[in-house]
């Protein structure tokens, strides 16, 4: 129940794409809107009860791998909530460390429990991305590190077929994108597409990954297919979802020098768009303006992009907008 509530809040916020987590894994605090009080209270009630029940089972049977797996999962969920909903990455440190320890113990008690490799691998990878002082603090606290070891554990969880397989595949899609291992990311997304053919956001991630890999034609085809799927789908949408699709396809079409890019990118700056999406779309519009030699329009678009991306807490977009402003001024 706590997991459902957590995912509900992420969906309502729109924080369910790889873009939201690229580059922000190592920040101590991310400014986010407060969650709805009723959902927040329900989450805390259920996750605390889950931890209490699991703690009692572990106390009664310390060598029970399932009891320790359940305790580690509940603690990991609490840590994830603190980081992704509250935006306090370090505040969940205690729960994260206990979660890591419990799932390491599961792997010792039962090496066949590949699903426990998900949390251990995730934290090993995260620790490897920290600054040196933060890494040292994590090691002293009992976390293991190692980027390749972390990725290998995530791969183990994804292959294992246990209850963590889907979560491990989504984690690998993020990690491979972050590491620019785009072929492997696309292979994972193909697997997820087979497992969840009605999940349009998997198709969005596939198209987005193809775009990052420089495969603009593949991205255009996938995102066009996804937009058609979106138009038929009556289920709830994340905030500004159509604008996000249009921005992605517009960026692919700009790379392909297709005239239709302009309409997509303008649609992506509509009133329903999230700030970071509208900002990135205006970055692409500024690039289009520079390509046709229209410096005045490029300056106007880049200025709006800068303001939107600062509001949207998107440092890469801010950097791109500043570079475009310099170019538009002839510097």
pLDDT tens digits along 51-63: 999 999 999 999 9
Using pLDDT thresholds of 50, 70 and 90, give the confidence band for residue 194. Answer: very high
The pTM score is 0.91
- Scored b (16 or more CB within 10 A) or e, 17-26 reads bbbbbeeeee
pLDDT in tens, 22-36: 755 444 445 567 888
Contact (CB, 8 A) for 120 and 114? no
Closest residue by Cα to residue 211 from 152, 274, 284: 284
* pLDDT the model gives residue 135: 78
* pLDDT the model gives residue 85: 87
- State the Cα–Cα distance between residues 212 and 242, nearest whole angstrom: 19
Separation in Å, CA 156 to CA 142, 168, 235, 314: 22, 9, 33, 32
277 three-state secondary structure:
helix
Closest residue by Cα to residue 70 from 7, 119, 22: 119
For residues 22 and 97, the model is more confident at 97
* pLDDT the model gives residue 89: 62
Task: Determine whether 298 is exposed, middle or buried from the number of CB atoms within 10 Å of its CB (0-12, 13-18, 19+).
Answer: buried
The average confidence (pLDDT) of the chain is 92
How many other β-carbons are positioned within 10 Å of the β-carbon of residue 83?
23
Residue 255 scores a pLDDT above 90: yes
DSSP string covering 71-120: HHHHHHHHHHHHHHTS-BTTTTHHHHHHHHHHHHHHHHH-TT-GGGHHHH
pLDDT in tens, 111-138: 999 999 999 999 999 888 887 887 787 7
- State the Cα–Cα distance between residues 27 and 313, nearest whole angstrom: 12
Contact (CB, 8 A) for 239 and 14? yes
CA 6 remoteness from chain centre: 14
Cβ neighbours for 272, distance < 8 A, ≥ 6 positions apart: 239, 240, 242, 243
Closest residue by Cα to residue 119 from 176, 78, 84, 85: 78
Closest residue by Cα to residue 267 from 255, 250, 280, 254: 250
Q: CA quadruple 112, 116, 120, 123: dihedral positive or negative?
A: positive
Residue 66 scores a pLDDT above 70: yes
Strand partners, 29: 88
* pLDDT the model gives residue 62: 97
Contact (CB, 8 A) for 254 and 220? no
Separation in Å, CA 147 to CA 25, 120, 125, 126, 181: 14, 12, 5, 8, 13
- State the Cα–Cα distance between residues 140 and 160, nearest whole angstrom: 30
* pLDDT the model gives residue 204: 98
Residue 253 scores a pLDDT above 50: yes
Contact (CB, 8 A) for 179 and 219? no
């Amino acid at each position: 129940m706590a997991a459902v509530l957590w995912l509900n809040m992420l969906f309502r916020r729109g924080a369910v794409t790889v873009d939201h987590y690229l580059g922000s894994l190592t920040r101590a605090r991310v400014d986010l809107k407060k969650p709805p009080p009723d959902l927040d209270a329900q989450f805390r009630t259920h996750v605390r009860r889950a931890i209490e029940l699991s703690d009692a089972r572990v106390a009664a049977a310390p060598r029970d791998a399932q009891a320790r797996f359940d305790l580690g999962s509940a603690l990991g969920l609490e840590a994830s909530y603190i980081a992704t909903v509250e935006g306090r990455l370090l505040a969940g440190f205690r729960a994260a460390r206990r979660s890591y320890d419990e799932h390491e113990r599961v792997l010792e008690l039962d090496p066949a429990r590949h699903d426990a490799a998900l949390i251990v691998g995730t934290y090993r990878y995260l620790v490897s991305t920290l600054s040196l002082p933060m890494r040292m603090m994590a090691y002293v606290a009992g976390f293991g590190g190692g980027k390749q070891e972390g990725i290998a554990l995530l791969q183990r969880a994804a292959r294992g077929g246990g209850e963590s397989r889907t979560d491990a595949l989504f984690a690998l899609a993020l990690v491979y994108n972050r590491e620019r291992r785009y072929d492997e990311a696309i292979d994972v997304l193909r697997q997820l597409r087979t497992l969840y053919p009605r999940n349009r956001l998997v198709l969005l991630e596939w198209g987005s990954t193809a775009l990052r890999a420089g495969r603009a034609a593949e991205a255009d085809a996938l995102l066009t297919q996804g937009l058609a799927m979106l138009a038929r789908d009556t289920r709830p949408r994340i905030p500004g979802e159509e604008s996000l699709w249009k921005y992605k396809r517009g960026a692919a079409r700009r790379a392909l020098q297709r005239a239709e890019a302009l309409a997509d990118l303008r649609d992506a700056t509509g009133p329903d768009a999230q700030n970071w999406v509208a900002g990135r779309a205006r970055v692409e519009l500024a690039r289009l303006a520079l390509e046709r030699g229209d410096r005045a329009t490029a300056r106007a678009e880049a200025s709006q992009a800068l303001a939107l991306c600062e509001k949207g807490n998107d440092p890469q977009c801010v950097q791109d907008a500043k570079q475009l402003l310099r170019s538009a001024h002839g510097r």
